[in-house]
Amino acid sequence: MIPTISSKTRLYALIGNPIEHSLSPLMQNAAFQVLGLKCVYLSFRVELEELFKAINGIKSLGILGFNVTVPHKISILKYLDEINSHANDIGAVNTVINREGVLVGYNTDGAAALEVLKEEAGNLEEKKIVLLGAGGAARAISFYLAPRVKNLVILNRTEHKAFDLARTLCQRFKTPTIKGEKLTNKTIVNELDDVDILLNTTSVGMYPYVDETLIEKSMIHS
């Protein structure tokens, strides 16, 4: 339930495209209510070509902070005033705080994903993980996984992005157990043959194409 709105209510937001699938408004507004904060959280669909205008609007309206989802996690970097060192290393931002007109970017994707994976799968050291996608979410998650897993395979439709991310991770963490390949049915089948964990960071399956999938049941071992 959205808290009572008044002239003292402050605004937080989510920007991206698509955003219709997001549960962020439900979760954040529930948290505001529990904490007794006079704040609301709304989602705004922002096209890539309108991103710069949207950022200026956020500053002008005094929105206190916002989350960033696909496809803006990388594109937004050039419009921020400051970027946390960790987010800068990753090269993607999913959380921005407005400090009196100064927009500061952070990244919480990787840490959150790692906690969930540990809870669900236990020790990751001997696991092979296949990561679909090479965008902002994939970058954040892979930076946390690369030094902690046995093998990490990045599959992406745009081949060079998978290669570039894999090369960056290999150089950063000095490990040869990371590779990037073009995402095709053949590579999916080959890599899923002995996979332990499969992660999808692409927008496939999101609104409005909620019935689409990159993985058929027949591709997954028992």
Catalytic residue IDs:
73
Here the tokens at position 69 are 């989802």
The strands making up 39-45's β-sheet, listed across from edge to edge, are: 39-45, 10-16, 65-68, 95-99, 102-106, 82-83
Burial of 5 (0-12, 13-18, 19+ CB in 10 A): exposed
Report yes or no: 33 and 3 within 8 Å, Cβ to Cβ.
yes
Burial of 102 (0-12, 13-18, 19+ CB in 10 A): exposed
The one-character DSSP state at 135 is S
